[in-house]
Structure 1
Amino acid sequence: MNISILGAGVWGRAVGKLVADRGHTVSLLHHTARDWNDVAEQILPTPGSECPPPSEACTSPAGPMDFLMLGLPVQHIRETIRRLAPPGVPVLGLSKGLEIRSGKRVSELVTELWGEARVGALSGPTFATEIQRGQPAACVVAAENEALAEAFQDLLHQPSFRTYRSTDLTGVELGGALKNVYAIACGACAGLDLGENCQAALFTRCLAEMTRLGVHSGGRAETFAGLSGVGDLHLTGMSQQSRNHRVGRLLAAGHTLNEALARLGGVAEGVPTTRSAYENELIPADAKPIVTEVYRILYEGKNLADAVRDLLGRSMKKEVY
């Protein structure tokens, strides 16, 4: 099959390599593409992969696409895909985040702008560099239609990349988006050297809040106990490989948000997603205290020590998710 990937960043390339290793022809398009023939390059399979060379399936010129994958930063998706004709094929979102102005998930943007109902999402604890090295990982692909979820699963599943499927598209996308917000909080906690007890407590309450927000928005609670929820939160929240975690550490070291982003040298989806989640008026502030404090740190310049004090000083509650 012919697979096109719109978005030539490190994650788009990593997923492209996975798909090529399954024997599919993979065409990479930059965000500047003006039509579907504007192919930047083709991704070739790894030697010794499931697609043994020579193989016509791996090396033939790209024909009409069978699937499209979107690997663009979420804040650039609208402006990019609105100038492209609807592809007329199933679309798999690779990006994790919410659009600032609308609060929409990637699948909702695709449906709004292209009218495409055959849309899914890939999520889970996956760093691109480890995928490119062929190190073992697991993920989840989601689509509201079971058969479509199976089709996406078949594109990606292989021994080094175990792929599960779900029909909770809302929950899988929200887990992937919201964990970036909480990764900033976890990074700040680590940077402030508040101790491992505090880090464990914060991680647990981040999971509780993420689950609460996800269920409120239409996701299923059990989804947040899976790869796109606690799995991705653990990886992104605890690792210094995570850009969002590093933003939190830089803020804890005294840098402004602009300084932190400049030092980062890449996209931190948690920054705009924080604003989108905070400004969602359908979810009351008392249901998202961690999101609220991260927002005030990022956008109002609140002192981190004051944010910690205010979180710890809230009224006593039952431990409920």
Structure 2
Amino acid sequence: MSWTARRLPALLLLLALLVPAAPAGAVGPFSHFTFCQKLWPSLSVRLGHTQAQRDRLWPVFLAGAIAHDAGYYPGADNNLSYAVHLVHPWRVTQGMLAQAQNPGEWAFALGWLSHALLDIRTHRDLVNAFTGGPYSQTMLAHKQFEWGLDCWLLARPQGEWLWQAPLDWQPGLALWQRVMAKVYGRRVDREVMAQAMRAHEKEVRRLPYVFWLSGRLERPDHWAGNALGWVLGHSARPLYVAWLGWRDRDLDVRGVLTARWPSPQDQRGLLSAMELTAGDLNQALAGGPWPQGSLDADPLCDAGECGQVKQARRWLDSLPAAP
């Protein structure tokens, strides 16, 4: 039996897990969820929620915290995410808070705010510094670093809940649509947003297992899965990555499969960024100054010159005018 034939079952299993695979927009969804866990107890008390309300609104808050990135996932329109990251992102964020009309919309808006602030903080202070440039110039290195942080969070014993984080985006869709109309003067069909969130949820459920069974992380007390991940990580994974590199294809899949486990310094950097961002959030809610520029902290995009911002503007121009 040939070397390839012996490894074919493992390769097929890995391919089944990875088709399609998801990109990282800034730090990944599990970093945003972890930040939400830090914020929500004080935010929910600040808003006067009862315990029953907290339980009901927690999944809405989590959905708002990843909604920015929903368009990046297979089956969604990536222009939706390019727009809210790169074209007037702070007007959109302020609009979310200004137009929220009920507790569900408030929870979604606060999640949205947490995402925007963590994105710009981690890009500026952590990710761009490590990769030597903004995303538009160092795409693969960004993906490897950001997914590596998520792998670390998923592997921690206290991160077990991340594997099945609850999500409820329905209370935020009308708000999202109203704010897009207000900021951009364009009507985005609500189904575009709902489809993006469905695609995002699908990948959020799948990605931990992709990382695990490709050997990017180990789970405490899950020896069988860890063993399978080790086997695939030393056979099918490097073979598939080499093939993708040779074909110069599927940067997103390569980023997932070559996620870089963070050093202790990087781990501390992420936790420090979360601490600082919590202060940024309190300052924003108290009426303090807001950040400026794109969420990618990319001067080229801030100037309207990167490819993604040009694509987002063309997409917005193609939409019908808001009533």
TM normalised by structure 1 equals 0.29
Greater relative contact order (Cα < 8 A, sep 6+)? 2
| Higher normalized helix content (fraction of residues) | 2
TM normalised by structure 2 equals 0.28
